Amino acid sequence: MRLLGYVWSAPYAVLGLLGGLAFWALGWARPRWQVGALIVDASGSPAGRWFNGRHWGAFTLGWTIFTWEAPSFPLLVHERRHVWQALVLGPLFPVVYLAILPFTRYRNHPLERDARRAAGDPN
């Protein structure tokens, strides 16, 4: 089933892979496969500093995780939950995420609340 999830979520994961390749080619990150996800730690890059300056710690595309801050354990658990959500929802993940967003703030978004709970944050 997991393999089907990786195939199902591939359309957005391919964008993540291309982004990871671009960050690697620029010398901004050294992507690594870790526990079912491609981690692109771009925390020291110009893009990482820009995103982190806007309090955006990480971003998930399919099964690719871009971290804009140093990847802590809770941050990676949170983002890996988004990877799991992407494996289940596949190409519908961004559609569902963005469809719900206008009706709820980021903090109350059901997919964000689920990821926070997975990382041990009860709020």
Residue 123 maps to a domain = no
pLDDT category, 85, cuts 50, 70, 90?
very high
Residue 65 belongs to domain spanning: 2-118
In a domain, 43, yes or no: yes
Residue 75 placed within a domain: yes
Between helix 73-89 and helix 110-118 the angle, nearest 10°, is 130
pLDDT in tens, 65-80: 999 998 899 999 999 9
pLDDT in tens, 1-60: 778 888 998 888 999 999 999 999 999 998 999 988 999 999 989 998 899 888 888 999
With respect to residue 92, please indicate whether it lies within any of the assigned structural domains. yes
The answer to the question of residue 96 being in a domain is: yes
Q: How confident is the model at residue 122 (pLDDT cuts 50, 70, 90)?
A: confident
Domain presence at residue 68: yes
Residue 5's alpha-carbon distances to 66, 84, 85, 88, 107, in angstroms, are 20, 8, 10, 6, 26
pLDDT surpasses 90 at 87: yes
pLDDT for 29? 93
Give the chain's domain count: 1
| CA-based torsion, 79, 85, 91, 95: positive or negative | negative
